[in-house]
Amino acid sequence: MFTELKSQLNDLAPQTLQQLLLDKSIRQTNDGYIQFPGQSLQTQFQETMNFLKSPDTLSLNWDDVCILGQTIDGDYLAGDQNETTFFIPSSLLADDTEIHQMSVIDALIALESGNLDSHIISKFN
């Protein structure tokens, strides 16, 4: 699914992918593992980050990061303009957050094809 979507993107920005998912009414991966609720997830993430705020949780300014998806386990999928993808655990623990130097669409393609290992986000189909 994501290989086909990549060919329809004008750029690799996560916001562009988010808009394409909305335009095509794609709200989840084929197996339902990752949900793509749209812009409302950004607000939910900020509220959760404020609620769980502690020295161990994420405290960076996440305004420049697009929170794109959430797994059924509550973990987050995010990306920035520098083609960096973040897999953020539902606990928001900074030390457990995985950072991958690739665009979100490329990370999704790698997960979908089984070519990216993560302790946070499982491979899906």
14-23 vs 104-112: helix axis angle to the nearest 10? Answer: 60
Mean predicted lDDT score pLDDT of the chain: 91
| pLDDT score at 60 | 62
What's the average model confidence in pLDDT over 102-108?
A: 97
Domain residue spans in the chain?
Answer: 2-112
Residue 93's closest CA among 42, 43, 59? 59
**What is the C-alpha to C-alpha distance for residues 90 and 3, in angstroms, rounded to an integer?**
27
Of residues 35 and 62, which shows the higher confidence score? Answer: 35
Q: Give me the percent of the chain exceeding a pLDDT of 70.
A: 95
| pLDDT score at 24 | 96
Q: Express each pLDDT in 39-91 by its tens digit.
A: 889 888 888 888 888 888 876 666 788 999 999 999 999 999 889 999 999 99
